[in-house]
Amino acid sequence: MALLALAAEIDPSVPVLFLDTGKLFPETLAYRDQIVAHLGLTGVRIVQPDILDVAAVDSTGDLWSRQAGACCYLRKVVPLVQAVTPFGAWVTGRKRYQGDGRSALAPIEASDGWVKINPLASWTKQDVFGLIAKRNLPKHPLLAKGYLSIGCQPCTRPVTALEDERDGRWAGQDKTECGIHTLEPPAVIAESEREIALTRDA
């Protein structure tokens, strides 16, 4: 929300890619619509996984419970890479305080063929919520229920006061990123990519 508010001040028609994995909370979809209306964004593009890819690799819809990495690759990485391909630069809302691989995040990166711009890299949590309060911006309704980092519904839970905000993502798994900022598929994801490719070639 903070990043979108800053972008909308410059140009409300800036292309905004909203990645709808098909597994999002209903509250997230409603929040998207609220943000678009509140900020007057006119360049929002809904990005979704290909229905044929989903049918081939996740026909039962429970890939997340068996191979979370493969699910993220199918529903996030593949469609987003296709959507950002026409652009030379990609602006993200990642911040160093989110921890793990983000702690040394640079404001500008050369990554995977794109220039990634991270204008909020050095912002603190207080900076983010300070901007939201100052401008009276709407908050995601699940924040009040303890969801401090919100992804897909099956793989997101509330966090306790003793946990980091991203501990609620893929809890109990050795996974901290969905893959859209790494694009380095582990073996299970690479296998899913081959399945997708074979399906398309069939």
Catalytic positions are 178
**Cβ(173)–Cβ(193) under 8 Å?**
no
Q: Which residues, listed in sequence order, are joined to residue 156 by a DSSP beta bridge?
A: 169
Distance CA 43, CA 41 (A): 6
Distance CA 173, CA 147 (A): 18
In order of 17, 49, 94, the CA distances from 91 in angstroms are 10, 21, 9
Buried b (16+ CB within 10 A) or exposed e, 60-77: eeebbeebbbbbbbbbbb
CA 151 to chain CA mean position, Å? 7
Q: Which of 106, 80, 87, 109 is nearest to 95 (CA)?
A: 106
> Rounded to 10 degrees, what is the CA torsion of 71, 27, 82, 115?
-110
